[in-house]
């Protein structure tokens, strides 16, 4: 039986590429004569039957092009975890009843680890109940921590923003004739892919970042301070790119106070005290008596669509299209993936894996791609990440600012 | 007597346009057959005779084009204030002796308020001692707080980055079906031009930023919290763009604790406690029981050359050229300025003012361009700022990252 009506949603934290995946879904569905509906705020909104007709809100190719350069999740997002279907089948019954009443033949869900868990559960429930509805998860996450895929859509754009920003910040920090340390804090609680990507800033004679700290490679603080002091002999500005989840050898997060220290709360926002970058800047400044500055790249890392990687957006779109073709081919419980087939030139092919094999796993940087001292990444990592930031998007601007598609 | 050798320096905080001014100086000097030398780290480096030959380091038009898209100060910078010449003439004697021995006919100094003070003092000393050396200050500052000029080079690029980022952050913050508040902290201790520029984010149906706080318009915190609560009835995500120098009606900075509260120090980095954005996010979150997030745009505001305003870079270059023509015409003690001659279409002309009339003054947003409640800017401000962010630069990229000229 062919597919006539397809329902698509977005879930989890936004990326600069998640709307490109949506555009790829709508474009391919339209080419195949499939109607696309969008769930607002993911499965959470779907349980409230909050659904829009994307043929009405995104009627033309121009709308889809504008969607591709718009940050955040056009359909809205949620952080909703489906319960185990044996323990609590009620939401499953509600959802499948909705699919049935509204003639939904397939559901695509664009998201990260949690979204793959959702799709895996819905596919399993569908199979168990003999439903003909097909379920495909479309990968996205800036964290690049999904299994089964060479890299995740959203990661390349975040990496491009991070590397570009670290290069700009490093040049800015080095204008004075003064020893100083800049610590740039980068997203990544458990996986260090994003902080590691800052290595690409090292071009045009720039030595920064001089140190890269990832959760995968715990680092002794005293050794780190010594290394910074050593490097200060070669350059007046030492730059550290640190994952928010950088750790000590005992496993404790650097954003938590060392054992024995008392955590002080002020004005009721204690969390603000404990940024990893701020902590390290204070530590290094205190021990070495140097001017230090901490910069948090903040959520701009995931939403700076003005600096998206053209490679990333194209791949995100292609995965959306691959997902539509998969359901048109009658498949369910799958996730489309990118497989790298060459480095120079960079080439990829698209495939499918079982979403159940991917859900709830987390991929880390191979330890061999981090130097033995834990303070840098190797050339293998550089070879891996470089093609992912390639290509500029030059967003269409109005009055000097990138044009976005209005929110729903 | 004609000009044969010109010495140029950069001073104060970098901007995305300060190297475009330098490119304009070198380009025009070269066209007029004038040799250009560069002082490293401004007057501070010059006192150490740290000077480079820009005909060697920037030999071609391609070098100058690359210089225009490179952030920070190519020549390095300093924060050096010349003493009063009557109280301490020693540095003046050293500098003029250097000019004499090295055949320097003119000195151009690219910088903000403090640099204009330096040029004003050097011109006065030159006049008092009968020196033939000519002195011109070339304006730059992201703060837009120089008198005598419609707007300062560097401001337009910073405004473009701020407005673009606030739009992206606001869309990112609104993906969940959840009431929340985002506070974006923007540079500007005493003048609110940069925070005010975030108003340009309001396009494509975006209501953010819903409130803009500037040092020029002190705001009562209780009234602000009430206004946020009111606005929360119309939108689920309320965005505040706040100057780091936002104030209470008693004149105290919001980044300082209210009178009576005790400032707590933790891990030796107390300054981290007192961010205006963080403070307001804590205050509003605490009073209204809402999810809040504070984002600091950090020094990226002044160095994000990948998103520079083409208008800003062109004007910065033109002012550099105007400065060279002024010294070639025999003038001294001047600063080239931009005068706006039309809004729609936006047109400007370049002129000169006495640098002594500009130095040590600070320009603020006219109170009439801020709404009476102090929580927003008016359409007059929008009309003023909009043309300054116009035009994209599309930096030349290598391996996906903007190419920069290597540091000296």
Contacts of B204 in chain A (CB under 8 A): 398, 403-406
B404 band by pLDDT with thresholds 50, 70 and 90: very high
| B378 token code pair | 């008016």
**H-helix or E-strand spanning residue A342:** strand A334-343
- Rounded distance, CA B316 to CA B184, Å? 28
Average pLDDT over residues B359-388: 97
At B341-365, the pLDDT tens digits run 999 999 999 999 999 999 889 999 9
- Rounded distance, CA A146 to CA A292, Å? 35
Q: Cβ–Cβ of A407/B269 closer than 8 Å?
A: no
| A188 token code pair | 């990544």
Contacts of B62 in chain A (CB under 8 A): none
Answer whether A139's CB lies under 8 Å from A153's CB: yes
pTM above 0.90, yes or no: yes
Q: Cβ–Cβ of B269/A285 closer than 8 Å?
A: yes
B243-to-A350, B4, B295 alpha-carbon distances in Å: 47, 45, 12
Angle, CA of B258, B262 and B263, to the nearest 5°: 90
| B38 token code pair | 């560069």
- Rounded distance, CA B41 to CA A365, Å? 41
pLDDT at A289 (0 to 100): 95
- From the list B160, B168, B268, the residue facing A71 with the nearest CB is B168
- From the list B72, B261, B399, the residue facing A175 with the nearest CB is B72
What are the residues whose beta carbons fall under 8 Å from the beta carbon of A312, sequence distance 6 or more? A16, A17, A20, A153, A154, A155, A156, A157, A160, A388, A389
Closest C-alpha among B240, B141, B142, B244 to residue B190: B244
Query: For tokens 């109940």, what's the residue?
Result: A129
Burial environment of residue A351 by CB neighbours within 10 A (0 to 12, 13 to 18, 19 or more): middle
Burial environment of residue B342 by CB neighbours within 10 A (0 to 12, 13 to 18, 19 or more): exposed
> Helix, strand, coil shares of chain B as percentages rounded to 5?
40, 20, 40
Burial environment of residue B372 by CB neighbours within 10 A (0 to 12, 13 to 18, 19 or more): exposed
Q: How many residues does chain B have?
A: 408
- Rounded distance, CA B163 to CA B198, Å? 4
Answer whether B58's CB lies under 8 Å from B1's CB: no
Coil/strand/helix, residue A358: coil
At B88-116, the pLDDT tens digits run 999 999 999 999 999 999 999 999 999 99
Closest C-alpha among A31, A302, A257, A37 to residue A165: A302
* pLDDT values of chain A reduced to their tens digit, one per residue, 408 residues: 589 999 999 999 999 999 999 999 999 999 999 999 999 999 999 999 999 999 999 999 999 999 999 999 999 999 999 999 999 999 999 999 999 999 999 999 999 999 999 999 999 999 999 999 999 999 999 999 999 999 999 999 999 999 999 999 999 999 999 999 999 999 999 999 999 999 999 999 999 999 999 999 999 999 999 999 999 989 999 999 999 999 999 999 998 866 554 444 333 333 433 599 999 999 999 999 999 999 999 999 999 999 999 999 999 999 999 999 999 999 999 999 999 999 999 999 999 999 999 988 999 999 999 999 999 999 999 999 999 999 999 899 999 999 999 999
Average pLDDT over residues B228-250: 96
Min Cα–Cα distance to chain B from A127, Å:
30
pLDDT at B271 (0 to 100): 41
- Biggest CA pair distance of chain B: 72
Nearest CA in chain A to B282: A269
What are the residues whose beta carbons fall under 8 Å from the beta carbon of A21, sequence distance 6 or more? A110, A138, A140, A153, A316, A317, A319, A320
- From the list A169, A266, A285, the residue facing B299 with the nearest CB is A169
Answer whether A303's CB lies under 8 Å from A14's CB: yes
- Rounded distance, CA B209 to CA B246, Å? 16
Min Cα–Cα distance to chain B from A41, Å:
7
Contacts of A281 in chain B (CB under 8 A): 269
pLDDT at A255 (0 to 100): 87
Mean of pLDDT over chain B: 94
| A360 token code pair | 């709830």
How many CA atoms lie within 13 Å of A223's alpha carbon, on the beta-carbon side?
10
Question: Quick one: CA dihedral A353, A354, A357, A362, positive or negative?
Answer: positive
Pick from B41, B167, B175, B288 the residue to mutate for testing the A interface (most A CBs within 10 Å): B175
Phi, psi of A184 (to 5 degrees): -105, 120
Q: Which of the residues A105, A114, A117, A143 is marked catalytic?
A: A143
Answer whether A142's CB lies under 8 Å from A43's CB: no
At B268-311, the pLDDT tens digits run 333 433 599 999 999 999 999 999 999 999 999 999 999 999 99
Min Cα–Cα distance to chain B from A14, Å:
7
Closest C-alpha among A307, A280, A223 to residue A17: A307
Q: Cβ–Cβ of B404/A70 closer than 8 Å?
A: no
B242 Cα distance to chain centroid: 17
| B246 token code pair | 């936002």
Min Cα–Cα distance to chain A from B378, Å:
18
What ipTM was estimated for this complex? 0.95
Min Cα–Cα distance to chain B from A59, Å:
17
Whether residue A143 lies in the annotated active site: yes
A246 Cα distance to chain centroid: 18
B263 band by pLDDT with thresholds 50, 70 and 90: very low
Q: Cβ–Cβ of A204/B403 closer than 8 Å?
A: yes
Contacts of B295 in chain A (CB under 8 A): 298-300
Q: Cβ–Cβ of B299/A263 closer than 8 Å?
A: no
């Amino acid at each position: 039986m062919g597919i006539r009506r397809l329902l698509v949603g977005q879930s989890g934290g936004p990326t600069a590429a998640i709307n490109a995946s949506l555009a790829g879904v709508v474009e391919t569905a339209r080419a195949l004569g499939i109607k696309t509906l969008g769930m607002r705020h993911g499965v959470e909104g779907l349980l409230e039957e909050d659904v829009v007709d994307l043929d009405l809100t995104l009627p033309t190719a121009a709308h889809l092009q504008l969607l591709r350069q718009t940050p955040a999740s056009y359909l809205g997002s949620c952080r909703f975890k489906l319960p185990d279907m044996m323990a609590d089948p009620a939401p499953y019954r509600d959802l499948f009843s909705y699919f049935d009443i509204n003639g939904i033949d397939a559901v695509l869900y664009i998201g990260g680890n949690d979204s793959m868990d959702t799709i895996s559960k819905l596919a399993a429930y569908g199979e168990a109940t003999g439903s003909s509805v097909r379920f495909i998860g479309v990968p996205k996450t800036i964290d690049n921590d999904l299994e089964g895929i060479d890299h995740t859509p959203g990661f390349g754009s975040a990496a491009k923003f991070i590397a570009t920003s670290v290069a700009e910040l490093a040049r800015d920090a080095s204008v004075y004739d003064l020893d100083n340390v800049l610590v740039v804090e980068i997203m990544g609680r458990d996986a260090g892919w994003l902080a590691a990507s800052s290595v690409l800033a090292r071009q045009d004679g720039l030595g920064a970042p001089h140190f890269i700290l990832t959760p995968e490679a715990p680092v002794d603080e005293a050794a780190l301070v010594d290394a910074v002091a050593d490097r200060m002999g070669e350059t007046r500005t030492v730059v550290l790119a640190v994952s928010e989840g950088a750790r000590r050898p005992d496993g404790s997060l650097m954003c938590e106070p060392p054992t024995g220290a008392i955590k002080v709360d002020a004005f009721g926002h204690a969390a603000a005290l404990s940024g990893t970058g701020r902590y390290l800047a204070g530590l290094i400044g205190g021990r070495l008596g140097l001017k230090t500055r901490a910069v948090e790249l903040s959520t701009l890392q995931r939403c700076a669509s003005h600096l998206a990687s053209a490679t990333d957006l194209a791949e995100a779109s292609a995965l959306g299209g691959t997902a539509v073709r998969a359901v048109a081919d009658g498949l369910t419980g799958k996730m489309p993936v990118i497989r790298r087939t060459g480095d120079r030139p960079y080439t990829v092919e698209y495939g499918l894996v079982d979403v159940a094999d991917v859900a709830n796993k987390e991929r880390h940087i191979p330890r061999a791609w981090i130097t033995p001292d834990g303070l840098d990444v190797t050339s293998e990592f550089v070879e891996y990440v470089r093609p992912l930031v390639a290509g500029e998007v030059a967003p269409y601007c109005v009055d000097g600012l990138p044009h976005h598609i209005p929110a729903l």
